[in-house]
Structure 1
Amino acid sequence: MQDLAFYFPGILLAYSTFLLAIASPGPNILAVIGTSMGVGRPSGIALAMGVASGSFTWALLTLFGLSAVLTAYASLLLLIKIFGGIYLLWLAFKFFKSAASLHDIEAKELSGARLRPAGYFKRGYIIQMTNPKAALAWIAIISLGLQDGAPFSVGIAIVVGTFMMSIAIHVLYAVMFSTPVMARLYSRSRRVIEGVLGTFFALAGLRLLASRS
């Protein structure tokens, strides 16, 4: 518990980065929204749970992979942080570019025959696990939270906490956007939200690049 308290600022930064990363619709969120609007709330929730489970899997793979690498080659931590920082700056650029665009979000139902909830769960999981950007995002998130010499419990706290947030946020999207009016309300404030997200990721990326521990 004392270790977690000492590393809490890093854990909180990892939580914040993850929370803001899924707050703005990307392909996975748009799939949840489109399914909720086109098929119904239960199917949207099932897809959301699949996406959240995929995110949890990526988090575990990243944590154990980075932990193994850093155990053998501790000097690689700086290189990993540089890589993660560059990715966060790239995300900031994408958000700023999107915020400057007048193009609204497009939430569409996934193509193919309609499925039972278990089928939508599987589809959501596959969507997340076949998304190469998820791996890059998790390298950045774990790198933000793990300082040099941090105990393994810090990584576990990041994974468990982000998994709970992932379930809450994805399911919330499925429930909220089961009616078209919510998509219209979000589109009205989209540019401001994405501008704020771009600023956060730019600052987080610069912080990671400036970190030496």
Structure 2
Amino acid sequence: MDYLPGILMSYSAFLLAIATPGPNVLAIMGMSMSNGRKPGMALGLGVAAGSFSWAILTIFGLTALIAAYAPLLTAIKIMGGLYLLWLGYKSLRSAASKTDLTIPKDAKKPHSLFHCARSGYLIMMTNPKAIMAWIAVVSLGMQDGAPWWVGAIIGAGITVLSILIHLIYAIVFSTPIMQRGYAKCRRALQTAMGTFFSLAGIRLLSAP
């Protein structure tokens, strides 16, 4: 129970981060609306596999480093906190913008399901911001002296959430009307996300 608030905070940060349209989400939206539900779901599963890979690399690397050198957790928390503040600024700036959601043009090319899944995986693994996002999310739930199973629970839960949410994106955005619906409430959602990220970043930086 001592680690439950941090674990839930990690889940919440990941849910809000995945709700922000980045390259992975935009690709799923575009593939689903242009080529149908199955290609979009295949791409979403590839993205989720990339999330799982980053989870394994981040969690086990993070816990191993903390076990060997505990003060390193402070540096990791500073990095994660600053990144969350940057996400908050980015979300609030995007909420103030009048630009609507745009879909990448290459998402409209027809692909095999395997190619879609591979593309989704590469999108995640070649994104330099992904590792910073994972450090921020995991460090919210990891405390000094936390056992290995805390990281395992965070990684397993986030992987399941990644699979479910990316599949939901593919299913929902296979109908073009959903893109218009998102555009209408985009500002309110991004304002809420920006506020959460900013508060989470402040919390992480001010934690003892």
Q: TM-score normalised by the shorter chain: which range applies?
A: over 0.9
Runs of at least 5 residues in structure 1 that lack an aligned partner in the other structure: none
1:73 paired to 2:69: yes
Counterpart CA distance in 1 for 2:148 and 2:64 is: 11
Secondary structure at 2:146 match in 1: coil
8 A Cα contact 2:32 2:38, kept in partner: yes
Q: Which residue of 1 aligns with 2:53?
A: 57
- 1:113 CA drift (Å): 5.3
Runs of at least 5 residues in structure 2 that lack an aligned partner in the other structure: none
- 1:37 CA drift (Å): 0.5
Q: Which residue of 2 aligns with 1:86?
A: 82
- 1:110 CA drift (Å): 2.5
1:167 paired to 2:133: no
Counterpart residue type for residue 58 of structure 1? W
8 A Cα contact 1:62 1:135, kept in partner: yes
Q: Which residue of 2 aligns with 1:45?
A: 41
- 1:26 CA drift (Å): 1.1
Counterpart CA distance in 2 for 1:208 and 1:43 is: 38
Stretch moving more, 21-30 or 191-200: 21-30
Q: Deviations over 1:86-135 (max 9, x none)?
A: 00000000001000000001123525852211110011000110001110
1:186 paired to 2:182: yes
8 A Cα contact 1:31 1:109, kept in partner: no
TM-score by length of 1: 0.95
- 1:68 CA drift (Å): 1.6
Counterpart CA distance in 1 for 2:64 and 2:150 is: 15
Alignment match of 2:20 (pick from 21, 24, 27): 24
8 A Cα contact 1:51 1:125, kept in partner: yes
Q: Deviations over 1:46-93 (max 9, x none)?
A: 000000110111011001111121111111111110111000000000
1:147 paired to 2:138: no
TM-score by length of 2: 0.97
Secondary structure at 2:194 match in 1: helix
Counterpart CA distance in 2 for 1:44 and 1:9 is: 34
1:114 paired to 2:91: no
Alignment match of 1:13 (pick from 9, 25, 28): 9
Q: Deviations over 1:9-49 (max 9, x none)?
A: 00000000001100121111000000001111100000000
